[in-house]
Amino acid sequence: MLQDFNICIDTKFVFGKDAQNQIGRELKQMGIHKVLIHHDNGKFLYDTGLLEQVEKLLEQEGIETLELGGVQPNPRLSLVREGIALAKKEQVDLVLAIGGGSVIDSAKAIGLGAVTDTDVWEFFTGNAVPERSLPTGVILTCPATGSESSAVTVVNNTDVGMKLLVSNPVVRPAIAFMNPELTYSLPKFLTACGVVDMFSHVCERYFTPDSEIGVIDRMSEGILKTLVEIGPKVLEEPSNYSYRAEIMWIGTIAHNNTVGIGRVQDWATHEIGNELSALYDTPHGATLSIIMGSWMRYIYQKSPERFARYAKEVFGVEWTKENTLEAAYAGILKTEEYFRSMGMPVSFGDFKVPTDEVEKMLDQIAFRGEDDSIGGIVRLNREDCRRIYEMAF
């Protein structure tokens, strides 16, 4: 039985071959006159002519453009503040992200700060609540985070060593242009990181304390099973349009809450893993593959039936009432085996992440509630999270 929920996913999707060619007409119809193009200065933008193409398409429709490059993985608050100042000075109508999750999140944060005198970091710390945002648009070149239609933006404040998020519908992008062909040249590691991120986004919603199985669970199982099937294939055939299109759309529905409505969600894997990004600048997808197996191993006996069902439906593990624990554990091993097949780490050692700053990472996790814990399917306190880190060494 679905619990009560409200959802409005009002992002317009322009999906398919040469989707980006429609950007001038679409933004003109939205009444846009000046655009801040935000990107990471990536070689791809210049070698392919994509950046120049987009600027020309906008100029043909009478839309002015200006640029702010330099986005890094785990997007920096310092660049966001620079973008806010530029957007205010130039009175832009829309921030256009060309890239993946980091660029999009940075653009969203600029949009939040560009319409207020409140320092944007106040929204991330929870000291202020956003009421509106400058509209953002996306040309997606690296499917992973689903940020092209999610209600979340994440930034890294390197001055204080904190990576925090804002979760609010006002940050959902107004429009997303999604051409799978633009992802053909993505390196294998970035593609794999993206697939792991998608997989984790679904798992954070699938592993819930709710015991009933319904349509949302079956949708989640279908997405996960598809990722298991085509994840390794897209690494072997990077120019396969069908695989790239499947991956691109899965990234979107994995994180715009299509499979998260009406249920208690978890998010412990993300919260624990994010501290590796904040402290060591570890790629987001790698932090998830490092932590997820240990998180599963630590909590699966508290909800063995759901983990056993996951093992059966996603990986084809045989499950009977008599072997529930064994089936559940087999699913965890299959998960880590799948990540390894994608060339992803499943431990600190696999990625040479230091293991001597656990207390510092624990200090930054936002434990909350009367039990001072995180998580949905199982509540985890500081000691629980310490043990998960140690299991992941």
pLDDT band at 355 (very low <50, low <70, confident <90, very high): very high
3-state secondary structure 90-156: HCCCEEEEEEEHHHHHHHHHHHHHCCCCCCCHHHHHCCCCCCCCCCEEEEEEECCCCCCCCCEEEEE
What are φ and ψ of residue 140, in 5° steps? -85, 125
Contacts of 229 (CB under 8 A, 6+ apart): none
With 90 as the cut, is the pLDDT of residue 137 above it? yes
Distance CA 393, CA 222 (A): 31
Mean pLDDT of 373-387: 98
User: Residue 211: its pLDDT value, please?
Assistant: 86
Tokens 């790629």 label which residue?
283
Sign of CA dihedral 119, 121, 126, 132: positive
User: Residue 2: its pLDDT value, please?
Assistant: 79
Q: Residue 103 to residues 75, 140, 147, 153, 180: CA-CA distances in angstroms? A: 7, 10, 9, 10, 18
Query: Which domains, ranges and CATH numbers included, belong to the chain?
Result: 12-182 (3.40.50.1970), 187-391 (1.20.1090.10)
With 80 as the cut, is the pLDDT of residue 299 above it? yes
Distance CA 8, CA 311 (A): 32
Mean pLDDT of 349-371: 96
User: Residue 1: its pLDDT value, please?
Assistant: 59
Distance CA 223, CA 198 (A): 9
pLDDT in tens, 310-323: 999 999 999 999 99
User: Residue 63: its pLDDT value, please?
Assistant: 98
Alpha helices in 207-317 (DSSP H): 215-236, 241-253, 268-280, 284-299, 304-315
Q: How many CB atoms lie within 10 A of CB 146?
A: 24
Mean pLDDT of 114-132: 97
pLDDT in tens, 251-292: 999 999 999 999 999 999 999 999 999 899 999 999 999 999
Mean pLDDT of 184-210: 97
Judge whether 48 and 82 are in contact, CB under 8 Å.
Answer: no
- β-partners of residue 374 are 380
With 90 as the cut, is the pLDDT of residue 3 above it? no
Q: Name the token pair of 335.
A: 């998960």
Total-model pTM: 0.93
Mean pLDDT (the chain) is 96
Distance CA 31, CA 93 (A): 9
Q: Name the token pair of 144.
A: 């992973």
Distance CA 287, CA 146 (A): 17
User: Residue 280: its pLDDT value, please?
Assistant: 93
